[in-house]
Amino acid sequence: MKPYLAAAVCMTSTPDIDHNLAQAEELIELAVNQGAKLIGLPENFSFLGKNEEKIAQADNIASKSEKFLIRMAQRFQVTILGGGFPTPLVEDKSKVHNTAVLVAPNGLELARYQKVHLFDVNVPDGNKYDESSTVMAGNTFPSVCDVGDLGKLGLSICYDVRFPEVFRHLSQEGAEVIFIPAAFTAYTGKDHWQVLLQARAIENTAYIIAPAQTGNHYARRCSHGHAMIIDPWGCILNSTGSQIGIALAEINPQRLQQVRIQMPSLRHRVFN
């Protein structure tokens, strides 16, 4: 692992796939022009619309999303995480997986993770979310992928951030940098998003790259934004706030080693 720049993208996706991918491409290019070698796109980057539209267009969304990630990685010679998009089920056309895919500069897939924890919540602002009505949960822990100079990268998606056992698994598997791409609701985000990200960074002494959705997507669906990168001590290195843009910061192995020496909590664990 060597020092490098990473970018967490903050965007406002809508039900318009082509519009979303054009927006994502602009932000990827912005990140590349500023030197980023690792770029994370948020959950639902290619489509954020009504459930019935998602199911009806699942094949098209999945195909366009995967081709887009490959094309962007190859064009800009960077490693890219597509932080979550619907991928169809063979056995049940009424549901999809919420899938994150990590793609190398040569266009080859490095890792794939199907979201395990589904957001079935009645938020106090009056919005009801029922992700499991159209999404089939994955059934395995996310993987850690050794990407050479970029380090050991762990994957997760959005609501997973509230389940620390996921991130303890990733740290046990050697994760040095953990992606938490999200479409965090505006209501819960203002109170919980930042503190949860910092907790996951601190307790696992790992860098956190957290791409995010922001603003109004359709009807009353609004996201909190604040894509950010956090260091292993829990310090926020950069944040987009609520604006569309990128959070750019250095991932530094010396800083990682320093924190893990100063605070060796992973080695002090008693219970497995």
The residues assigned a catalytic role are: 43, 115, 158
Q: Is residue 95 part of a domain?
A: yes
Domain with residue 224: its CATH number is 3.60.110.10
Residue 180 within any structural domain of the chain: yes
Question: Is residue 64 assigned to a domain?
Answer: yes
What tokens were used for 35?
A: 């030197």
Residue 87 lies in a domain: yes
Return the axis-axis angle of helices 194-204 and 164-172, rounded to nearest 10°: 30
Residue 267 lies in a domain: no
Q: Is residue 162 part of a domain?
A: yes
| Predicted TM-score of the model (pTM) | 0.96
Please state, in angstroms and rounded to a whole number, the distance separating the CA atoms of residues 209 and 41: 10
In a domain, 34, yes or no: yes
- Between 82 and 129, residue with greater pLDDT: 82
Q: Which domain holds residue 20?
A: 4-262
SS3 170: helix
pLDDT tens per residue, range 28-57: 999 999 999 999 999 999 999 999 999 999
CA dist., res. 112 & res. 96, Å (int) = 15
Helix axes 58-76, 17-33, angle to 10 degrees: 20
Residue 73 has pLDDT above 90, yes or no: yes
> Quick check: is 255 in a domain?
yes
What's the average model confidence in pLDDT over 143-170? 97
Q: Could you read off the pLDDT of 187-214 as tens digits, one per residue?
A: 999 999 999 999 999 999 999 999 999 9
59 vs 96: CA distance, rounded Å: 10
The DSSP symbol for 14 reads: -
pLDDT exceeds cutoff 80 at 134: yes
- In residues, how long is the chain? 272
Domain count within the chain? 1
